[in-house]
């Protein structure tokens, strides 16, 4: 970002005049910090890294299969004396994940890098890292918003998305329904004894108006006072055994009544969803707040190659073999609401 500052001079008569032809252009070297979304799903996802040469891969995709032994049926029938029971059968269910390759790059010429007063290569690297983090986070969000999340709670009395209006807001009752679903399916909370929740800021606004909402300052005081709970990154409050964070990266659409906005949030327990990558094309640990952390390759300018014999350009790039998947639909609830506008 550049700002033009006209040079002002004082004439012999004391008047201040603008000397247009001699105006000096000054540039603000500290660029404005980009407004980035918070990306909380990275922290809560179960992370699985696939070793190279593990088999089961084609040229463009890899298939990962998870197996789970299903619980045994419970019978209360008493044994007959001297007669062995029929016995129980083992059964399994599977979840299949398909790795796909993602990536982008930015080409930078030697003229641009030499003429610019900004660190073009450094800015391009940061921008690409941020973009990669958002792209992969959106893939996770799309995965948990898909049909795999079979349990959906709607705001107030609505029973479908096309019934939602701006008055069908996020509420204490919706959170209790989500928690009821998790507990009735024996979903254990995280080690701190709480489930996790993701809210859009519009949903958070409505939930904060509920008398049962507890803001972090109310139960933490910034240093563990009032309950001694260490805050998780981005935490804004809790309710009914769920600790919440907010992000603008949740799904917002116009599927409500008369094309009203609907907002999708999630409440979940551990191992509800996972992210998967390949060791040789791995995703680094994405920073929740900056969206950065992707392994970015930087090819310098003035480095001749067969495709660039004069070394006229450099580039920054990234690639990853990546997938996201709901591992167990019983462990996650989607809450779909309207919001106060």
Q: What is the pLDDT of residues 120-173, one digit of tens each?
A: 888 888 888 888 888 888 899 998 887 656 689 999 989 999 999 999 999 999
CA-based nearest residue to 214, from 241, 232, 196 = 241
Given this model, what pLDDT does residue 7 score? 35
- The mean-pLDDT minimum among 1-10, 149-158, 183-192, 259-268 falls in 1-10
Q: What is the pLDDT of residues 89-131, one digit of tens each?
A: 888 777 788 888 899 999 988 887 777 777 888 888 888 888 8
pLDDT band at 289 (very low <50, low <70, confident <90, very high): low
Q: What is the pLDDT of residues 29-88, one digit of tens each?
A: 556 666 777 788 888 888 887 777 665 454 445 566 667 777 888 888 898 888 888 888
Q: Return mean pLDDT, the chain.
A: 80
Given this model, what pLDDT does residue 18 score? 42
Is the per-residue pLDDT at 16 higher than 60?
no
Percent of the chain scoring above 70 in pLDDT: 78
CA distance to 3, 6, 27, 68, 85, per residue, from 19 (Å): 17, 8, 19, 77, 102
Considering the domain boundaries, does residue 20 fall inside one?
no
Considering the domain boundaries, does residue 161 fall inside one?
yes
Is the per-residue pLDDT at 6 higher than 50?
no
Given this model, what pLDDT does residue 310 score? 86
Considering the domain boundaries, does residue 227 fall inside one?
yes
Structure tokens at 287: 């920073």
| 197-228 CB burial, b ≥16 within 10 A, e <16 | bbbbebbbebbbeeeebbebeebbeeeeeeee
Structure tokens at 245: 């964070």
Residue 315 phi, psi (nearest 5)? -160, 160
Q: Which of the pair, 306 or 196, is modelled with greater confidence?
A: 196
Structure tokens at 257: 């009544």
Is the per-residue pLDDT at 239 higher than 70?
yes
Considering the domain boundaries, does residue 138 fall inside one?
yes
Tally of CA atoms within 13 A in the half-sphere of 50 that contains its CB: 26
- Number of structural domains the chain divides into: 1
Looking at residues 284-304, what average pLDDT do you find?
72
Structure tokens at 328: 């167990």
User: SS3 for the chain, per residue?
Assistant: CCEECCCEEECCCCCEEECHHHCCEECCCCCCCCCCCCCCHHHHCEEEEECCCCCCECCCCEEEEEEEECCCCCCCCCCECCECCCCCCCCEEEEEEEEEEEEEEEEEEHHHHHHCCCCHHHHHHHHHHHHHHHHHHHHHHHHHHCCCCCCEEECCCCCCHHHCCCCCCCCHHHHHHHHHHHHHCCCCCCCCCCEEEEECHHHHHHHHCCCCCEEHHHHCCCCCCCCCCCCCCCEEEEECCEEEEECCCCCEECCCHHHCCEEEEEEECCCCEEEEEECCECCCCCCCCCCCCCCCEEECCCCCECCECCCCEEEEEEEEEEEEEECCHHHEEEEEECCCC
Considering the domain boundaries, does residue 279 fall inside one?
yes
Given this model, what pLDDT does residue 206 score? 95
Burial of 183 (0-12, 13-18, 19+ CB in 10 A): middle
Considering the domain boundaries, does residue 319 fall inside one?
yes
Considering the domain boundaries, does residue 251 fall inside one?
yes
Is the per-residue pLDDT at 13 higher than 50?
no
Range of the domain at 288: 35-66+93-341
Residue 141 phi, psi (nearest 5)? -60, -40
Given this model, what pLDDT does residue 200 score? 95
> What pTM was computed for the model?
0.77
- CA separation for the pair 135, 125 (Å, rounded): 15
Given this model, what pLDDT does residue 24 score? 47
- CA separation for the pair 227, 218 (Å, rounded): 9
Considering the domain boundaries, does residue 79 fall inside one?
no
């Amino acid at each position: 970002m550049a700002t033009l500052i006209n040079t002002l001079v004082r004439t012999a008569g004391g008047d201040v005049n603008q000397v247009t032809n001699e105006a000096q252009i000054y540039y603000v070297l500290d660029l404005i910090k980009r407004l980035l979304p918070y990306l909380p799903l990275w922290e809560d996802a179960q992370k699985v890294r696939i070793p190279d040469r593990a088999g089961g891969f084609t040229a463009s995709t890899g298939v990962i299969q998870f197996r789970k032994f299903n619980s045994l049926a419970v019978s209360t029938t008493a044994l007959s004396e001297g007669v062995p029971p029929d016995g129980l059968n083992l059964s399994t269910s599977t979840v299949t994940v398909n790795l796909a390759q993602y990536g982008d790059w930015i080409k930078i010429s030697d003229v641009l890098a030499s003429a610019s007063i900004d660190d073009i290569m450094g800015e391009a690297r940061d921008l690409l890292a941020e973009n990669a983090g958002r792209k992969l986070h959106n893939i996770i969000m799309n995965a948990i918003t898909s049909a795999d999340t079979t349990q959906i709670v709607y705001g107030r009395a609505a029973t479908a998305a096309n019934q939602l209006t701006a008055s069908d807001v996020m509420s204490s009752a919706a959170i209790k329904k989500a928690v009821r679903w998790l507990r009735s399916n024996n979903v254990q909370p995280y080690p701190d004894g709480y489930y996790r929740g993701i809210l859009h800021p519009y949903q958070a606004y409505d939930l904060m108006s509920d008398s049962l909402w507890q803001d972090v300052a109310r139960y933490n005081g910034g240093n563990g006072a009032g309950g001694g709970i260490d805050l998780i990154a981005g935490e804004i409050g809790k309710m009914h055994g769920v600790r919440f964070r907010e992000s603008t990266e949740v799904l917002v659409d116009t599927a409500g009544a008369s094309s009203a906005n609907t907002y999708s949030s999630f409440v979940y327990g551990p191992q509800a969803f996972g992210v998967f990558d390949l060791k040789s094309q791995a995703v680094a640990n994405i920073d929740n707040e900056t969206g950065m952390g992707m392994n970015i390759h930087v090819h310098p300018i003035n480095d001749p190659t067969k495709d660039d014999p004069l070394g006229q350009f450099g580039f920054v790039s990234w690639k990853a073999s990546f997938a996201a998947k709901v591992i167990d639909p019983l462990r996650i609830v989607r809450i779909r609401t309207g919001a106060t506008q």
